[in-house]
Amino acid sequence: MWMPFDNGATVGQPGYEGGVIVRDEEHQAGARATLERDCKHCPWSVTCGIYGWFFHTRFLGSEAESEFPTMLDGLAAILDIGSRVDDPECDSQMEAVARAIEQFVGRFP
Provide the 3-class DSSP secondary structure of residue 70.
helix
Q: Where are the domains of the chain?
A: 2-107
| pTM score, whole prediction | 0.89
Provide the 3-class DSSP secondary structure of residue 84.
coil
- Checking if the pLDDT of 83 tops 80, the result is no
Which burial class, exposed, middle or buried, applies to 61 when counting CB atoms under 10 A from its CB (0-12, 13-18, 19+)?
A: exposed
Is 58 in contact with 71 (CB distance < 8 Å)? yes
**What's the confidence (pLDDT) of residue 90?**
73
- Checking if the pLDDT of 76 tops 60, the result is yes
Mean pLDDT score, 64-73: 88
**What's the confidence (pLDDT) of residue 2?**
98
Is 35 in contact with 43 (CB distance < 8 Å)? no
Q: Give 67's contacts (C-beta < 8 A, 6+ positions apart).
A: 46, 58, 60, 108
- Checking if the pLDDT of 62 tops 70, the result is yes
